[in-house]
Structures are given as structure tokens and as C-alpha cells.
């Protein structure tokens, strides 16, 4: 996606200035976020009279547990929580835009006349790309359903036990049978 975005630069663009600016802004932003994150973790550890290691584990817990807990102690906590989760939504959408932009730019550069003649505008091409991506994602749900419901989780578990000498836990069988189809359906619908 970076190459797609870079293709919009002017031919004689000062890339060194842009590179240094983006690197410095990224470093400063990361430093500020790190200071805020560790200050928050330290404050929560102090409030609960525990070690920092016991406050939170790595992964999404930092974003979805720790920050909302920290915002609950701030004045106008609902306002800050709405802003925080809106920021997360914008970050997710930004990532999706970058992924779609790679495909759109490639098609526009490869077939410019055909796209101008048949799709009229840029937005129609983006809509077509998103619709095709949605259709290509549908087999994921049917694959999970076919393997777990038609082939069966018991047979799949026996095959895995034969391969690894370990029978899959109840958690994995629950994920295969219920959680995965449900979550994939939610992602596709919403």
C-alpha cells in the first residue's frame, strides 16, 4: 500500500524531507503513546497495590481493557471513551482503505481506458472491488461449516489426535463448531 500511495507523489518530490518528517512524527507519536500507556499501567498497579506484570497481559487487553478502565477515572469519561473508540474505528478503516487502494490503483493504472469507459468514476470501481472482496469472503463461512458440521468435529478431532498425539480441547471444538461460523457471519454482515 505504501507504493500505491507513493505513486501519487510529484515526479520531483523531495522524498528525503518526507521520509524524515514521517519518521520523526512516527517516533514522537510512539514515544507519547508509550509514556501514556506505561504511566496508565503504573497508576493502575499502584491503585490495586500489585506489580505491573499482574495488571495486564500483552495483546488486545491493553486497548480494550486497560484504556477504558483508565478513562473511567477521568472527568467526562463517557466523552473520552467515545472519542477513544471512534479513534480505533478510524484506525481500522484507514487500514482497510490502504488495502483496497492497492487494488484500485493497480486496476486504474493497468486498464485506465476500460475503467473510464465502463465504470464512469473512481467510486464505482471502489464499490465493485469491495463487493467482490465480500463475495470472495463468503467461502470462509461455508468452509468452516463444511469441515465442522458436515465432516464433524469428532472426526476432525480424531484426525488431529492421530497427527499430533493430542486430542483438541473443548475450547477448540467450541471455536470450530460455534464461535468461528458465528464470528465470520457477523464480520460479513456488519
Annotated binding site for Na(+): 26, 91, 95
Q: Binding site: what residues are annotated?
A: 26, 91, 95
Gap between the Cα atoms of 54 and 61, Å rounded: 12
| C-alpha cell, 115 | 475503467
* Contact between 147 and 173 (Cβ < 8 Å): no
Greatest CA separation for the chain? 67
* Contact between 157 and 167 (Cβ < 8 Å): yes
| C-alpha cell, 161 | 489426535
For 109, residues 6+ apart whose C-beta sits below 8 A from its C-beta are 7
* Contact between 79 and 72 (Cβ < 8 Å): no
Amino acid at each position: 500500500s505504501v507504493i500505491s500511495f507513493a505513486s501519487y507523489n510529484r515526479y520531483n518530490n523531495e522524498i528525503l524531507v518526507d521520509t524524515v518528517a514521517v519518521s520523526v512524527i512516527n517516533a514522537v507519536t510512539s514515544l507519547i503513546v508509550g509514556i501514556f500507556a506505561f504511566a496508565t499501567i503504573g497508576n493502575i498497579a499502584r491503585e490495586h497495590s500489585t506489580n505491573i506484570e499482574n495488571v495486564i497481559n500483552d495483546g488486545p487487553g491493553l486497548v480494550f481493557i486497560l484504556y477504558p478502565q483508565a478513562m473511567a477515572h477521568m472527568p467526562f469519561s463517557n466523552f473520552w471513551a467515545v472519542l477513544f473508540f471512534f479513534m480505533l474505528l478510524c484506525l481500522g478503516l484507514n487500514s482497510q482503505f490502504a488495502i483496497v487502494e492497492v487494488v484500485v490503483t493497480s486496476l486504474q493504472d493497468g486498464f485506465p481506458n476500460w475503467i473510464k469507459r465502463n465504470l464512469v468514476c473512481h467510486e464505482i470501481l471502489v464499490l465493485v472491488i469491495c463487493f467482490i472482496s465480500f463475495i470472495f469472503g463468503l467461502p470462509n463461512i461455508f468452509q468452516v461449516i463444511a469441515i465442522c458440521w458436515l465432516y464433524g468435529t469428532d472426526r476432525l478431532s480424531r484426525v488431529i489426535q492421530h497427527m499430533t498425539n493430542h486430542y483438541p480441547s473443548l475450547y477448540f471444538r467450541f471455536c470450530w463448531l460455534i464461535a468461528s461460523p458465528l464470528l465470520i457471519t457477523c464480520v460479513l454482515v456488519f
